[in-house]
Amino acid sequence: MSEIALTQTPIHIRHGSNIGQPLTRRDGVLKVTGAAKYAADQHPPGMLYAVLATSSIARGRVAHLDVAAAKAHPGVVDVITPANRPALALDPDEKSNPFMFRLDLLQTDRVRYAGQPIAIVIAQTLEAATEGASLLAPRYETEPARVGLDDGESTALQVVGPGFPAQAQRGDVETELAAAKKSITQTYETPAQYHNPMEPHAIVAAWEGDTLSIDTPSQGMAMAQGRLAGLFGIAPEKIHIRSPFLGGGFGGKGMISGPQVLGAIAARAVGRPVKLVLRRDQMYGPVGHRAPTRQTLRLGTDGDGALVGLDHHTKTMSSTFDDFFEPASTPSHTLYASTAIATSHAGVRADIGTPIFMRAPGEAPGSIALESAIDEMAQACGMDPLAFRLKNYAEVEPISGKPFSSKALRECYRQGAERFGWERRPLAPRQMRDRDGLLVGWGVGTATFPAVMFAAQAKAVLRRDGSGVMEIGAHDMGQGAWTALAQIAADGLGLDLDRLEFRSGTSDLPDAGIAGGSGHTATAGMAIYNAGADVIAKLADLATNDDHSPLFGAGNAGVVARGGRLFRRDDESRSESFSDILARAGLAQIEGRGAGGRPNPMEAHGQSDYAMHAHGAVFAEVKVDPELGQIRATRLVGAFAAGRIINPRMVRSQYYGGMIWGVSFALHEQAIVDRHSGRPMNANFAEYHIPVNADVPSLEAILVEEDDPHVNALGIKGVGEIGITGSAGAVANAVWHATGIRVRKFPITLDRLLEPQ
């Protein structure tokens, strides 16, 4: 049962609505039975296979490709290189907003990073295309690769991330740090990481005249449509993207990548449908990654352990030709009160593929450094790390002085600590052992992520038979968006869920905005809710103006919708079904539209009266072998407050996923780049370590209640990324507590624990 009040704001949803129910995934059965067709499962008639040849050098030019040998291979249909690549309407290096990649689309023979596409081979079979690509046997003119944070060209930064200021300050941090009673200065390093969704980037592209149909996983279909339209010089409506299922995205499918566009170029060139699927190793270059960072934190306190100065400086890296710089210092804007705060970023350009958003961009690497430094400062003050965090609790957003739209972090600390048993923690490190003699350590980390909204539209229909339709081109990359959004749709239309048809996952539907920044449920959800409210308002007009209706004269604000009926607010015994209202009016259906979002998606970052963030507290236990240095995370308890929870089952799953990534960040994950060739050396699942089942600790996620009257009318923040942010630091701090050794270079591997750098 669902119910809405027909007022603009705020919207009150009563218990017993679809929103808040722990429903299982709508697409779950399709996925576990293999019935869900992913992009690479498509086989249109006449389809050919494309395989990319990619550069094995990081810098230089391709001097020769043996195109004749590739073409002579049986089954090879065509080879596309910069010499014969069909013209495009736009220079792929043009960039008109921060939410697009500059692309490598075979525009020249220059090589700008290892793994850059240098040719496409198209063949009757995957095997022939693969063999053809290997026959190209490229020869290069190689220039020395600039690889690490110390090798590249320095660049002054004005903005980081998608447009945050690279520098920010409040108060005079130098004066405060100079006068501090206690202070620390430490430097932390985080490695390059790659998104590694189970499903690699893939495209099946088919042209009919100047109409392009594609199957490809996308976290932002409307943006992809616009980008492709620009490149091919056709209207966006000529491009039909289907993206019903994604095998993970994590930000790497937010913006269309070069290889996806190359698939469409190949299909156009040969005049047949073409499938192009990246191999795992080809995911390490042209489709984005998380850049490495080196972060220096300077903290100072007064005699009571209150922070007086916090300076967070990040050095990070982008490609030589594009502009995404990891905004790792930004969590210091939000988390802890300090008399003075300064954040800054410095950039380096190196011969790598362009980095991009990766789950909790900024906050993930930034918070593991900040949370480590906060622990080190607590230790310097002789204080319990949780007590130190509570001592420096930010009642308003520290950098801006603005009130938080809501902040139940204190409650997160309380519930998490109680559940974990934090009060039994000895202050000094290396005090606890388990029965097997392993060192046991406990750590805490604070989680934070901004409550971002983009812009979305939705269309709703109520039919005379009492059923409804909600249309929105939303993206379910595995997080459960279709399930949660359908719950909002049912409540928005005042229908039981089984009377609702939820249409999603194609670009022909209204633009749902990007599924990123943890903002999809809030953004698409508000569009959906408003589209439903638009329909219900029209329906209420029909009923309340009709003297044959039991609702006659009730007035627009006098009715509520639930279970397919409108009820008088003041007398719920008087009601009428949607079907009866439509039948009497002689209408087959009513349509409505809604929009959601904020005028500026950066609002959560300070362009509003309120600071809007989700928060959490994560408590971690690790066990360390005292001789071997082997580390295992054994237990994680996270307590998170993120506004209204649409579906607690999906949300818990998001928190678990984030927490596991936190373990991965702290202990496992890193891309190792060869300093001579500039090539990632572990571009495979055997050597790029992510947690497998045996690495995942006992997990518990507590959903702390939080009512946010400002963030949007439904009170939704976002849950997709915050789980990483507290967890990574909590695990790192637990390792210190177990061993007394502080490793400042992540991940904390056993060699670094035995010989800290």
What are the residue numbers of the active site?
A: 721
Q: Residue from 358, 440, 461, 711 that binds ligand MOS (CB under 6 A)?
A: 358
Q: How far is CA 704 from the centre of its chain?
A: 22
Total site size for ligand MOS, rule CB under 6 A: 11
Nearest to 561 by CA among 547, 583, 543: 543
Tokens representing 736 are: 């210190």
Is 196 a binder of ligand MOS (CB under 6 A)? no
Strand partners, 442: 621
Instruction: Supply the minimum distance, in Å, between the C-beta of residue 251 and ligand MOS.
Output: 3
3-state secondary structure at position 131: helix
* Residue whose CB is less far from ligand MOS, 364 or 618: 364
Tokens representing 687 are: 């050597």
Contacts with 480 (C-beta within 8 Å, 6 or more apart), sequence order: 25, 647, 649, 650, 653, 654
* Residue whose CB is less far from ligand MOS, 334 or 549: 334
Strand partners, 314: 295, 345
* Residue whose CB is less far from ligand MOS, 289 or 737: 289
Instruction: Supply the minimum distance, in Å, between the C-beta of residue 31 and ligand MOS.
Output: 20
Q: Which residue is nearest to ligand MOS (CB)?
A: 251
Amino acid (one-letter) located at 535: V
* Residue whose CB is less far from ligand MOS, 97 or 693: 97
Instruction: Supply the minimum distance, in Å, between the C-beta of residue 356 and ligand MOS.
Output: 8
* Residue whose CB is less far from ligand MOS, 228 or 255: 255
- Quote the CA–CA distance of 343 and 726 in Å, as a whole number: 20
* Residue whose CB is less far from ligand MOS, 358 or 714: 358
Instruction: Supply the minimum distance, in Å, between the C-beta of residue 166 and ligand MOS.
Output: 19
The backbone region for 336, taken as left when phi is positive above 0, alpha when psi lies in -120 to 50, beta otherwise, is beta
- Quote the CA–CA distance of 364 and 290 in Å, as a whole number: 10
Tokens representing 554 are: 């009730």
Enumerate residues 226-265 that contact ligand MOS by CB under 6 A: 249-251, 254
Instruction: Supply the minimum distance, in Å, between the C-beta of residue 521 and ligand MOS.
Output: 13
Instruction: Supply the minimum distance, in Å, between the C-beta of residue 344 and ligand MOS.
Output: 23
Contacts with 515 (C-beta within 8 Å, 6 or more apart), sequence order: 219, 220, 249, 254, 474, 475, 476, 477, 479, 481, 524
* Residue whose CB is less far from ligand MOS, 477 or 636: 477
Contacts with 301 (C-beta within 8 Å, 6 or more apart), sequence order: 180, 181, 182, 183, 307, 308, 377, 380, 381
Q: How many CB atoms lie within 10 A of CB 426?
A: 12
Contacts with 84 (C-beta within 8 Å, 6 or more apart), sequence order: none
Enumerate residues 62-101 that contact ligand MOS by CB under 6 A: none
Tokens representing 54 are: 């990619």
Instruction: Supply the minimum distance, in Å, between the C-beta of residue 452 and ligand MOS.
Output: 8
Q: What mask of x and - would describe binding to ligand MOS in positions 482 to 521, judged by CB under 6 A?
A: ----------------------------------xx----
Q: Residue from 197, 361, 398, 494 that binds ligand MOS (CB under 6 A)?
A: 361
- Quote the CA–CA distance of 201 and 251 in Å, as a whole number: 12
Q: What is the DSSP letter of 702?
A: E
Q: What mask of x and - would describe binding to ligand MOS in positions 212 to 231, judged by CB under 6 A?
A: -------x------------
Q: Residue from 194, 324, 357, 619 that binds ligand MOS (CB under 6 A)?
A: 357
* Residue whose CB is less far from ligand MOS, 360 or 370: 360
3-state secondary structure at position 575: strand
- Quote the CA–CA distance of 696 and 441 in Å, as a whole number: 16
Instruction: Supply the minimum distance, in Å, between the C-beta of residue 182 and ligand MOS.
Output: 36
Q: Which stretch binds ligand MOS (CB under 6 A): 77-85, 340-348, 354-362, 431-439?
A: 354-362
3-state secondary structure at position 700: strand
Q: What is the DSSP letter of 393?
A: B
Nearest to 441 by CA among 468, 422, 461: 422
Contacts with 580 (C-beta within 8 Å, 6 or more apart), sequence order: none
3-state secondary structure at position 179: helix
Nearest to 112 by CA among 194, 192, 57, 193: 57
Instruction: Supply the minimum distance, in Å, between the C-beta of residue 522 and ligand MOS.
Output: 13
* Residue whose CB is less far from ligand MOS, 249 or 263: 249
**How many residues does the structure list for the chain?**
757
Q: Which residues of 236-267 are buried (b: 16+ CB within 10 A; e: fewer)?
A: eebbbbbbbbbbbbbbbbbbbbbbbbbbbbbb
Is 359 a binder of ligand MOS (CB under 6 A)? yes
Contacts 24+ apart (CB under 8 A), 428-435: 429/736, 429/737, 429/738, 429/739, 429/740, 430/737, 430/738, 430/739, 430/740, 432/738, 434/623
Is 665 a binder of ligand MOS (CB under 6 A)? no
Q: Which stretch binds ligand MOS (CB under 6 A): 356-364, 486-494, 597-605, 656-664?
A: 356-364
Kindly write down the DSSP assignment for every residue of 607-631, as one continuous string: SSSSB-EEEEEEEEEEEE-TTT--E
* Residue whose CB is less far from ligand MOS, 357 or 413: 357
* Residue whose CB is less far from ligand MOS, 17 or 219: 219
Q: Which stretch binds ligand MOS (CB under 6 A): 7-15, 72-80, 357-365, 379-387?
A: 357-365
Instruction: Supply the minimum distance, in Å, between the C-beta of residue 360 and ligand MOS.
Output: 7
Instruction: Supply the minimum distance, in Å, between the C-beta of residue 359 and ligand MOS.
Output: 5
Instruction: Supply the minimum distance, in Å, between the C-beta of residue 358 and ligand MOS.
Output: 5
Instruction: Supply the minimum distance, in Å, between the C-beta of residue 254 and ligand MOS.
Output: 5
* Residue whose CB is less far from ligand MOS, 131 or 326: 326
- Quote the CA–CA distance of 133 and 70 in Å, as a whole number: 7
Nearest to 659 by CA among 623, 702, 601: 702
Q: Which stretch binds ligand MOS (CB under 6 A): 353-361, 478-486, 701-709, 735-743?
A: 353-361
Q: Which stretch binds ligand MOS (CB under 6 A): 124-132, 351-359, 443-451, 565-573?
A: 351-359
* Residue whose CB is less far from ligand MOS, 194 or 420: 194
Q: Which stretch binds ligand MOS (CB under 6 A): 336-344, 358-366, 390-398, 497-505?
A: 358-366
3-state secondary structure at position 102: coil
The CA-based diameter of the chain, rounded to the nearest angstrom, is 85
* Residues found near ligand MOS in the complex (CB under 6 A): 219, 249-251, 254, 357-359, 361, 516-517
